[in-house]
Amino acid sequence: MVTDFQKLVWAKLEEIPQGRITSYKELARAVGKSRAVRAVGSACASNPNLIEVPCHRVVRSDGKVGSYRGGYKTKIALLEKEGISIDQNGCVANFSNCFHHFDS
């Protein structure tokens, strides 16, 4: 089932330009629920369009890439393909540099 909340989250994801990333917290704030970070995760976890929707551009606010529906390594591979560098600790190298902030 596709709810309005999910569509809202996915819509925000598409606003992220290529080579940029965002965090679940920022994404939650963008949809008007800054405390619903876990809900955003659930919404993306149920995302049927892993390629169509750039859900791999979403990372944790502490700098780590977090997890991914299609697998941890797959997320890293996609991010590197977008130009994002990931270190051995599973953290985004250019985190602050490539971070995308929403208007809201």
Residues that bind DNA (CB under 7 A): 1, 3, 5-6, 23-25, 33, 35-39, 41-47, 50, 55-56, 58, 60-62, 66-69
Closest CB 77 distance from DNA, rounded Å? 14
**Residues 6 or more apart in contact with residue 1 via CB below 8 angstroms:** none
Whether 86 contacts 94, CB under 8 Å = no
Closest CB 11 distance from DNA, rounded Å? 13
C-alpha 79/C-alpha 58 separation (Å) is 10
- Which lies closer to DNA via its Cβ, residue 6 or residue 86? 6
Query: Mind telling me the catalytic residues?
Result: 55
